[in-house]
Amino acid sequence: MKIRDIITPEDIVIRDTAESKKQILQDMVHVISSQKIALNERLVTESLLERERLGSTGLGDGVAIPHARCEFPEQSNQSIAGLLLKLKQPIEFEANDNQPVDIIFMLLASQNCGTEHLTRLAAISRFIRDNNAAEQIRKAKSSSHVWQVLCKTAMSSAA
C-alpha cells in the first residue's frame, strides 16, 4: 500500500500552532467531518482521547499517528478516513521520546472495516520512519508541496 492510497492532496492541512493535543484532535476531526464524511465530532474526539489514554500515539521524532474506530454514518460508502496535519510550531503530545510533535497523521476507521485500518497504520508508520520523509514534510511550505514530498518519497521508498 502506498501513502497516496491513504492521504490525498485534500487531506493535507498546514497550521501555525495549536494549544493542546485535545484541541488539535478536535480540529482534525472537524476537518474530516466537514470535508469528507459527516461524523459525530464529539464522539469521535472522545474515541481518539480514549485511545490516547491507553498510550500516546506519538511515535517519536516529532510524529504522531492518532487513530480510532468510530461510528460512520450508515449512508457512507467510506470505511476509513485520513488526514495529515503539519504544524509550524510543534506541540506537546506525550510522545514516547518526550519530544513535541509537528507531523500528525490521523486515521479514523468505521466499526466494521475489518483489519484494513491496521494495514494503513502500518503503511503510514513505515513511510514516516524514513527520516527523510519527515524532514522533507517539515521543510514544505504549502500543502501542495507536502503532497509532492509524499509522492516523491513514496516512489523512492515504495511506501
Domain count, the chain: 1
Residues serving a catalytic function are 67
Taking the chain (159 residues) in runs of 10, the rounded mean pLDDT of each run is: 79 91 95 88 94 92 92 72 94 94 93 78 82 87 91 58
Q: What span, in angstroms and rounded, lies between the C-alpha atoms of 33 and 109?
A: 13
Q: At 7, which CATH number?
A: 3.40.930.10
Q: Which structural domain range is residue 118 located in?
A: 3-157
**Total Cβ atoms within 10 A of residue 129:** 15
Give the model's pLDDT for residue 77: 66
Residue 109 burial class via C-beta count within 10 angstroms: exposed 0-12, middle 13-18, buried 19 and up: buried
- Beta strand 101-110 with 63-64 is parallel
Let me know: does 134 contact 84? Beta carbons within 8 Å: no
Give the model's pLDDT for residue 1: 64
